[in-house]
């Protein structure tokens, strides 16, 4: 009896788990993505100044270079 109850509980849990799956694909309208456009990093953090963004990335990369940080 106990095994039957465990089997039924497991069967119900598996059945309900499959039914609760939600659609995870973005919506499409007229063949194009129907969602919010993503802003590029230089648009968000540097007020659309791409050169300042490139300079910040280059500076950060130079600071992470071990050869430039060590003394000869």
Is the pLDDT assigned to residue 17 strictly greater than 90? no
In a domain, 60, yes or no: yes
Instruction: With 0.85 as the threshold, say if the pTM is over it.
Output: no
Tell me whether residue 50 is in a domain.
yes
The enclosing H or E element of 18 equals helix 2-19
The backbone region for 24, taken as left when phi is positive above 0, alpha when psi lies in -120 to 50, beta otherwise, is alpha
Q: 65: left (phi > 0), else alpha (psi -120 to 50), else beta?
A: beta
Tell me if 24 is assigned to some domain: no
In a domain, 70, yes or no: yes
Range of the domain at 55: 38-72
In a domain, 28, yes or no: no
Does 72 reside within a domain? yes
Domain count, the chain: 1
For residue 5 the two structure tokens come to 């109850």
In this predicted structure, the answer to whether residue 57 has a pLDDT above a threshold of 90 is yes
pLDDT at 51: 94
């Amino acid at each position: 009896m106990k095994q039957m109850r465990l089997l039924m509980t497991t069967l119900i849990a598996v059945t309900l788990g499959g039914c609760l799956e939600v659609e995870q694909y973005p919506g499409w309208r007229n063949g194009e993505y129907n969602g919010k456009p993503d802003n590029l990093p230089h648009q968000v953090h540097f007020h659309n100044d791409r050169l300042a963004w490139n300079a910040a990335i280059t500076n950060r990369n130079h600071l992470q270079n071990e050869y430039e940080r060590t003394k000869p």
